[in-house]
Amino acid sequence: MKKTALSLLLALAASSAASADDAIKDIMKKYHKPEDAICKKVGKGEATDADLATLLKAYQTMCAGTPAKGDKAAWVEKCQALIAAVKKVQAKDASGMSDFKKAINCKACHDVHKGK
């Protein structure tokens, strides 16, 4: 009984880790890449409350994932900076926008964490 519960837990942990990695790609494709991506709207101050809520959830998922490359602690730090910035923008904190622009630096993160 105990053993069954443990292996079930392990199976769950393994499957959620795998989907978190794919989640990083999905989040990039959905929220970073398109011309009208939410991250671009945030930069222009055009994101709605719903956009911000969606983006926050995506970054929380991304944070739980493991990037193709680089140190996990450095990854979590970058994701946390994005999460904190989105929360500030949500709270209409004036420094949120500049924090977000710093945290969303594509190249700085890709150089360290993106494979190939």
Residue in 24, 47, 52, 85 binding ligand HEC, rule: CB under 6 A? 24
> By CB under 6 A, which span of 1-9, 49-57, 92-100, 108-116 interacts with ligand HEC?
108-116
Q: How far is CA 18 from the centre of its chain?
A: 15
- Burial of 11 by CB count in 10 Å (0-12 exposed, 13-18 middle, 19+ buried)? exposed
Taking the complex as a whole, how short is the minimal distance between the CB of residue 13 and ligand HEC, in angstroms?
19
Q: Which of 23, 33, 15 is closest to 62 using CA atoms?
A: 23
CB 49 within 8 A of CB 90: yes
The residue to which tokens 């924090």 are assigned: 99
Residue in 47, 52, 58, 113 binding ligand HEC, rule: CB under 6 A? 113
In the chain, the N- to C-terminal Cα span, in Å, equals 44
102 in contact with ligand HEC (CB under 6 A): no
> By CB under 6 A, which span of 1-9, 12-20, 49-57, 99-107 interacts with ligand HEC?
99-107
Sites of contact with ligand HEC (CB under 6 A): 21, 24-25, 28-29, 32-33, 39, 67-68, 78-79, 104-106, 109-110, 113-115
